[in-house]
Structure 1
Amino acid sequence: MGALLSFRTKIVLLMLVTTLLVMIVGGLGIDRMTQRTLLDQNERYAQQVAASTAAEIGDRFSQVAAFPQTLSALAETAGTLPDRRLAWYNVTIPALFKAAPPEILSLTTFFVPDFIAGRQYAKVWYVRDHTGQVVPVTINIPGEIGYDKSQPLYDYFKQEWYTAPLKAQGLVWSEPYYDAGGANVNMVTASIPAFSHGTLAGVATADVEIDTINTFINTIKPTEHSYALLISRAGTFIANPRQPELVLSSTISTTAERLQSSDLADLGSRMLSATSGFRHLRDPFSNLDSIAAYHPIGQTGWSMVIIIPEADLLRPLNQLRLALLEIGFLAMSALALLGWLGTSRLLRPFTVLYEGVQRFSNDHSALQLGIKHDNELGHLAAAFEQMSARIASSYTHLEHEVSARTADLRQSLAERDRQASELAEALAEVRQKEQEVLDLSVPIVPLLDDTLVVPIIGVLSTERAISFLQTLLAAVEARQARVVIMDITGLALIDERIADLLLQAASAVRLLGAELIMVG
C-alpha cells in the first residue's frame, strides 16, 4: 500500500504543482497589468485632484481678491472733500467686511500722502479677531492715536504689497511675509491700486493668514499618507505639512539642495515654471517612492503639488493580492481534497489488484478480482485472473509431481540405508574373522614367567606383520619377559621384506630389555 499511497501522492502533488505554476505565472502577469493600470488610473486621478484643488484654492483667493477690487471700485464713490473721506472708509470697510469669506483676516486701504486732509500717512484697517468681531487696527504712523516717534515707523510706502500693485497697475498677490508692527502674523496680501475720481487714492488690500492656508492645505489628503505642498512665485514654502518649520523660512530649491534631492529640485523647477504635470519621485520628506501631481494656482502665481506614496496607490492591489492568496489557498485545498478523493477512486482497482497479487503470492490460488471495467484496467484484471488460474493449475500439478518424486526418493534412500547397514555388519564380521585368523596365525604362548614362545604360521603379510609386532611388544612389556623364542618353522615364505620385519621385531624386543631367539 505504501507504493500506491506514494503514487497517489505524486499524482496529487503533480496536480497541485501544475495548478500552482499556472496560478503564479497568470497571477504575476495579471498583477503587473493591474499594477500598471492602477498606477495609470491613479496618476490621472492625482492630476485631476491637483487640478480641482488648485482650482478650488484659486476660487477662494479670487473671492478674497474680489474684496480689495470692490473696495478699489467703491473709492470712486467717496466724497471729494479730503476731510470726509476717512469717515466714508470707516463706514464702508466694516460694512464690506461683513460679507467677506472667513479666509480674509483683514481689509485695508493705505492712502497716498494728502489724500486724507493734511496727513502724510493715513489708513483705514479693520481685522477679524479671534472671536470673529471686526475691529480697527492701530499702527505706529503719524496721525494715529498713540503714535510714538521713538518706536519704528510702519512705513507702508516701502512694503512690497504696496509698491507691487502700483508698479503693475493691477491686482498683485504678495510673497508670504511676517507683518511686524501691523497684524503681527504670517500672511499674504492681495493688493490693488484705488482711484477716486481719476486720482490715485492709495492701495486697497485683503490679507489672508498663513495658518488659515495651512489649515486648508492640511485637509488635502487623497490617500492616507498623501499631503500637499504650496509654494509662492519665488518658491518659498507657504504650506508644508511634513516640515512646517520650512514655511516662510526656506524655498523648495534650497531645501532640495540641502537634502541633496534631485527629484525635489526638478519638481521645484517645474512648479516655478507655472506648468501642470506629473512625475515619479523619491519623496525626500518621507523617503518613500511617490508620485507628484502639480498645478499652478490662478492669478496668485503660486503652485501646488500633491505627493502620494505609491504604497497608498497600490493598497487596493495589495488587498486584491491578499484576497487572491486566500482564494488560491482555498482553491488549492479544495483541489488537493478533490484530487485525493479522485485518485482514491481511480486507484481503487489498482489496490484490489495489488491485494490480489499479495494473496496469490501467499496461497497460489486462482483469483477473482471483480474488476469489470470495459477499459485497459478491466482487460489487465481479466488477463491477470487468467494468468493466476493457469499458474494455480500448474502449481497444483507441480505439487503432485514433487510429492510423488519425493516419496520415490525417500523409498530409495531407505533401501540404500538398509543396504549400507547390511554392508557395515558384513564388514565388521569380516574384520572380526580376520582378527581371529591373525590371533591363530601368530599366537604368543608364555613358556616360563619371563619366557615367551611365538610360533609364526602361514604367510606373513605387511598388515599381519604390523599387528604381530604390536601384539608382541605389548606382551613383552606386560609380562616383563626376558626371553622371546620366535619359531618360524611354519612360515610359508621368507623374503627380504619379511626378513626386515623380523629384524625390526628383534630390535624392538631388545629395547624392552628382552632377548629374541629365532628357531626353525
Structure 2
Amino acid sequence: MSEMALRPRWLRLRSRFVIFVLSGVAVVALAMALISHQEASQALLKASQEHLLSLAQAQAAELGRRLESVSAAPRGLALSLEQVGVRDRDFALTMLREHMSGNPRIFGMALALAPAGGPTRRLFSAYVYRTPQGFKSMDLDSPAYDYPSQNWYLIPALLGRPVWSEPYFDEGGGGVLMTTYSAPMLAQGQVKGVVTADVSLQELEREVHSLDVGNRGYAFVLTQQGTFLAAPFREWVMRQSIFSLAEQYQRPDLRNLGQLMVRGRSGVLRVPDPRGGPPVWLAFAPVKEVGWSYVVAAPESEVLAPVQSLTRHQLYIAGVGLLIMGLVILVMVVGLTKPVQLLTTGARRLASGDLGSRVSGIRPGDEVGELADSFNTMAGDLQAHVAELQRKRKELEDSLHRIELLENIQNTLNKFVPTSVKARIAEAPEAPDLNKRETDVSVLFLDVAGYTRMSEQVAGEEMNFLIERYFSSFLDDIYQNKGDINETAGDGLMIIFQDQDPGQHAVSAVRCAVAIQNKVAQVNQELKGRFQPVTINIGVNSGAAQVGSSRFEGLAGTRWTFTASGPVTNTAARLGALATQGQIYIGPETAKRVQGRFALKDMGPQQLKNVAQPVQVFQVLGPLNA
C-alpha cells in the first residue's frame, strides 16, 4: 500500500500503553532524582568541608600574622645591633623599651650578649617586661641562672638562626602560658648575642574558646610536639597531647591524625570525637611560622544538616514532578507509541552508522507524520553533512598538527628569549623594534669566587648541581625585582634592571643583590657538610646604556644577541671583579640613587681594569630600617 493510501488515525491507544509508559517514566525520573541527589549531597558535603578548612586556614593565618609581627621586633633589633653593637646597659634597656612600645603583644624582651672569654666568663643580659605600672627591668646575668645554658639562648646560638620556643607556663608571671622568640646577633659568622621576645598566649585561649563553629563545634591548637595549647577542656592545656589521648583511649586514628598535624599538613577528616561521642569532622591547618596546628571540629550532624535538608526538599519536588509528568504523559501517549517505535528503530540504525536508513509506514495527517517526514529529510541531510565533515575533519587534523609543531617551537624558544625581548615583540608582533636604543638601566654582575679552583676539586656533575642549585635560588628574587637575566657564563650572571623611574630600578638592583647574598647564606647552610661554602661577589652600576640587539652575520648564518653595552655595563663588570668575600660593590651613580635606602660604605676611588679614570666605589652593607 502506498503512503498516500493510508488514512489518518483518529483513535488513541491510552488504555493499552499508559501503564507501561508511566512505569518507565517513573523509573527514569527516580534514577535521575537519585543521581542528582547524590551529586548535590556530595557537593554540599564538600562545601561544608571546604568551609571548615577555610575557617581553620584563616585562623591559622591570622595567628601566624600576629606571631610574625611579634618576631619582627627582636629580629629587627638583632639586625640593628649587629651593625651598631651594644654600648652599655642603659643603651640596651633603651633599645628594648623602644621596640616593645611599638608592639603591645610583647610581654617582655631580653638582650643577652655572648659570654666574654677568659678564666671567668663575663655575662651581660638585660630583660624588660610589662607591668600595670609600666615597663620594668631586671638582670639575668647571675651565675646561678647561667643564661648561656638556657634553651632560649643556647638553641638559637647553636643553630645560628631565629627560633620559637615550645610554649610553657611562666611560673614567675602567675602561671601565664607563654612562648618565646629568640633571634641571634651574628657578626662574621659568630654569635655575638641573642634578642628575645616573650608573648602571652592567654588571648589565644580566649579566642579559640569563643570561635563560632556552629552550635556544638569547637576548636583547639596543637604545638609542634602535638601538645594541646588551647583545648575544649582546660585541664588538657599543656598537660595532654593528641598522642597521649590516642594511647589513653586506644585510638590509632588520633595518632595518625596527630602525625599529619605535627608534619605541617592540612586537610579535613571524619573521626570519632576526641572528647567522646558521635563522629566529628576535623579541619586542620598549619601555623607555619611556629609549626603549630590549628584545628576546627564540627559534629557530623551539623556538617550533614544541609544534605538532610536538601534530601527532604528533593523528595518533595520529585513527588510533585512525577505527578505532573504522569498527567502530561497520559495526555500525550495516545497515538505516539507505534510511530515513536518506528522512529526509534530508524534512529538506532542511523546511530549505528546506517546513514541510508529511512522511516516508512507512519500515517500522514498529524504532527507525528510530519515528524517522520522531517526525520527522513534530516537523515538525507545528515548523510551529506557527515561526508562533508569527514573531509573537513581531515583538513582540521592537518592544520592542528601544524599548529602543534609551531607551538612546540615557540615554547622551546621562549626558554632562551629574555623578558625584555618578549616585551618588545609583544608591542609590535608584525615588525618588532629590536634595534639598540639608549636606555637608563642598572646592570648587575655576579661571579662565583674561586670557580676555577672549585672546578678542579669537584666532579663535573656535582659542580653542575652546585651552580644550578645556587643560581636557581636567585631566580625568584630576580623576577620579583623586575630583573632580566641577559647573559650567563659558567660562574656568573649579567642581569639588567629597567623602570620608568631611574631611581626605582637602581633600588631594585641593589635589593636583588642583598637578597641574592641572603640566599647564598641559606644554601650554604643547607649544603653544609657536603660542600664547601660558596662565595658570590656582586657589582652594580647605573646609567645610560645601549640596550638592544647585536647581529653577527657570517656565511653559515646570522646570530642575534640582546644585551646592554657601554661604559655602564663595563664598569658594573669591573666592580663585580673588584668585590671579594661576598661583597656588593656599586658605582657612584647607583649609590646616589639608593641613598637613604641602604647602608653604604665609601671605599674611595678605585682604579678599575680598562677604565681610564678612578671610580668612586661604595660597599652595600644592607638595607636601612624603615
TM-score, normalisation: structure 1: 0.50
Q: Which residue of 1 aligns with 2:126?
A: 123
Q: What residue is the counterpart of 1:111 in the other structure?
A: 113
Return closer, same or farther for 1:317/1:79 CA change in 2, 3 Å cut-off.
Answer: closer
* 2:277 paired with 1:287: yes
Alpha-carbon distance in 2 for matches of 1:278, 1:55:
17
Change (3 A) 1:184 1:90: farther
Q: Could you tell me whether the CA contact under 8 Å between 2:282 and 2:298 is conserved in 1?
A: yes
Task: Give 1:204's match in structure 2, choosing from 195, 198, 201.
Answer: 195
Which residue of structure 2 aligns with residue 309 of structure 1? 299
Partner residue, 1:68: 74
Given candidates 159, 164, 179, the residue that maps to 2:150 is 159
- Out of 27, 33, 45, the residue aligned to residue 39 of structure 1 is 45
Distance 1:226 1:158, change over 3 A: farther
| Distance (Å, rounded) in 1 between the aligned partners of 2:76 and 2:294 | 27
Report the Cα distance in structure 1 between the residues aligned to 2:216 and 2:279, rounded to whole angstroms. 12
Q: Following the alignment from structure 2 to structure 1, what is the Cα–Cα distance between the partners of residues 140 and 66?
A: 31
Instruction: Give the match's secondary structure for 2:226.
Output: coil
Change (3 A) 1:184 1:139: farther
Gaps of 5+ in 1: 1-16, 144-152, 339-520
Kindly provide the CA deviation profile for residues 248-302 of structure 1, in whole angstroms up to 9, marking residues without a partner as x: 1122111111122222111001112222233221222152322222222213122
Aligned-pair distance for 1:167?
Answer: 1.6
Q: Which residue of 2 aligns with 1:135?
A: 135
Separation of aligned partners in 2, 1:192 and 1:265: 33
**Partners of 2:173 and 2:122 in 1: CA distance:** 19
Q: Distance in 2 between matches of 1:317 and 1:41?
A: 11
Instruction: Return the match for 2:228 from 228, 237, 258.
Output: 237
Alpha-carbon deviations, 1:204-242, whole Å to 9, x = none? 1111222122223334444333333221221111121x2
- Taking a change above 3 Å as real, the CA distance of residues 320 and 39 of structure 1, as seen in their structure-2 partners, is closer
User: 2:95 — aligned with what?
Assistant: 92
Structure 1 residue aligned with 2:56, among 50, 61, 68?
50
Flag the structure with higher helix content.
1
Which has the greater radius of gyration? 1
C-alpha distance 192-319 of structure 1, shift in aligned 2 (>3 A): same
- The residue aligned with 2:251 is 261
Q: Is the 8 A contact 2:281 2:303 kept in 1?
A: no
Measured in 2, the distance between the counterparts of 1:323 and 1:331 equals 12
Match of 1:452 in 2: none
Give the aligned partner of residue 246 of structure 1. Answer: 236
CA distance in 2 between counterparts of 1:305 and 1:213 reads 13
CA RMSD of aligned residues (A): 4.1
| Residues 160, 191 of structure 2: 8 Å contact kept | no
- Determine if the alignment matches structure 1 residue 215 to structure 2 residue 223: no
Q: Deviations over 1:116-146 (max 9, x none)?
A: x99535323222x4x5x64214477649xxx
Relative to structure 1, the CA distance from residue 331 to residue 40 in structure 2 (aligned partners, 3 Å threshold; closer, same or farther) is: closer
Q: Does the Cα contact within 8 Å between 2:45 and 2:307 map onto a contact in 1?
A: no
Distance 1:327 1:277 in 2: 35
Would you tell me which structure has more strand in proportion to its own residues? 2
Report if aligned partners of 2:281, 2:300 keep a CA contact under 8 Å in 1: yes
- Structure 2 partner of 1:177: 168
Q: Is the CA contact 2:125–2:139 (under 8 Å) kept in the aligned structure 1?
A: no
SS of the residue corresponding to residue 300 of structure 1 reads coil
Q: 1:97 to 1:194 in 2, by over 3 A?
A: same
How many residue pairs get aligned? The number is 308
Q: Is the 1:264–1:283 Cα contact (8 Å) retained in structure 2? A: no
Residue number in structure 1 paired with 2:65: 59
Q: Residue 270 of structure 1 corresponds to which residue in structure 2?
A: 260
- Measured in 1, the distance between the counterparts of 2:47 and 2:86 equals 61
Partner SS, residue 115 of structure 2: coil
Amino acid at match of 2:53: Q
Structure 1 residues 292 and 176, CA gap change in structure 2 (3 angstroms) = same
Evaluate the alpha carbon distance shift between residue 229 and residue 23 of structure 1 in structure 2; reply closer, same or farther with a 3 A threshold.
Answer: farther
Contact 1:139 1:181 in 2 (8 A): no
Deviation at 1:86, TM superposition (A): 1.0
Distance in 2 of aligned mates of 1:265 and 1:196: 43
C-alpha distance 253-292 of structure 1, shift in aligned 2 (>3 A): same
Q: How does 1:390-429 map to 2 (within 5 A)?
A: none
User: Is contact 1:64-1:104 (8 Å) kept?
Assistant: yes
Deviations 1:371-425 (A, max 9, x none): xxxxxxxxxxxxxxxxxxxxxxxxxxxxxxxxxxxxxxxxxxxxxxxxxxxxxxx
Give the gaps of 5 or more residues in structure 2.
1-22, 328-626
How far does the alpha carbon of each residue in 1:457-500 deviate from its partner, in whole angstroms, 9 at most, with x for none? xxxxxxxxxxxxxxxxxxxxxxxxxxxxxxxxxxxxxxxxxxxx
Deviations 1:64-118 (A, max 9, x none): 111110121222355564xxx2111221222211211x43222222333359x99
The aligned counterpart of 1:186 is 177
Structure 2 CA distance for aligned equivalents of residues 274 and 319 of structure 1: 35
Range that drifts further, 281-290 or 64-73: 281-290
Q: Is residue 2:299 matched to residue 1:297?
A: no
Q: Deviations over 1:135-167 (max 9, x none)?
A: 214477649xxxxxxxxx444333322211112
Please say if residues 179 and 200 of structure 2, whose CA atoms lie closer than 8 Å, have aligned partners that are also in contact.
yes
Which amino acid in 1 is paired with 2:202? D
Residues 22, 288 of structure 1: alpha-carbon distance in 2 compared, 3 angstrom cutoff:
farther
Aligned ranges 1:481-500 → 2 under 5 Å: none
3-state SS in 2 of match to 1:223: coil
**What is the CA–CA distance in structure 2 between the aligned matches of 1:215 and 1:192, rounded to whole Å?**
28
C-alpha deviations, 1:322-358, integer Å up to 9, x for none?
55678799999999xx9xxxxxxxxxxxxxxxxxxxx
